[in-house]
Amino acid sequence: MAQRIFLILTSGTREKLQMAGMIAAVAAATGTETSVFLSMNALSYFVKGNTATAPAEGPVGRLMEEKTVPPFVELFHQAVALGAARLYPCSMAVDIMQLGSADLDPVLEKPLGLTRFLTEMEGSQVMTF
């Protein structure tokens, strides 16, 4: 596996968030340092009290809901608990959504700007969802 993996999440759809969560959890389980940048529609699922279900894009997303696969937020929590993953909320999205640190899931790091995240990921494996 890559020495470091960077995931950029902007989608709010179940399939993309689920895949990103699976990658983060598996990478963290293998000790691969993983950084996740949460922005746009993805960030809202990491706001305290948000119980919304991510909409499915297609039949697989609907099947995941029917089969009750582990929720993507739980997968990200597992990745952080394993110690190799860090979740960063996008500072611009936090500002636009008028969120404070008390509003965000406690597993999230302090908000980070895109410029800093892009600088950190230079030379690493990057995936976008």
At 65 the pLDDT is 85
Q: What is the mean pLDDT of residues 98-102?
A: 96
pTM of the model: 0.93
Q: Mean pLDDT across the stretch 57-82?
A: 93
Can you give the residue range of the structural domain that contains 102? 4-128
The predicted-structure confidence for 80-96, as pLDDT tens digits, reads as follows 999 999 999 999 999 99
Q: How many CB atoms lie within 10 A of CB 52?
A: 9
Instruction: Give me the number of domains the chain comprises.
Output: 1
- According to the model, what pLDDT value does residue 71 have? 92
CATH number at residue 64: 3.40.1260.10
Sequence-ordered list of residues with C-beta below 8 angstroms from that of 110, at least 6 positions apart, any chain: 88, 101
The phi and psi torsions of 26 (rounded to 5 degrees) equal -70, -45
**pLDDT for residue 111:** 97
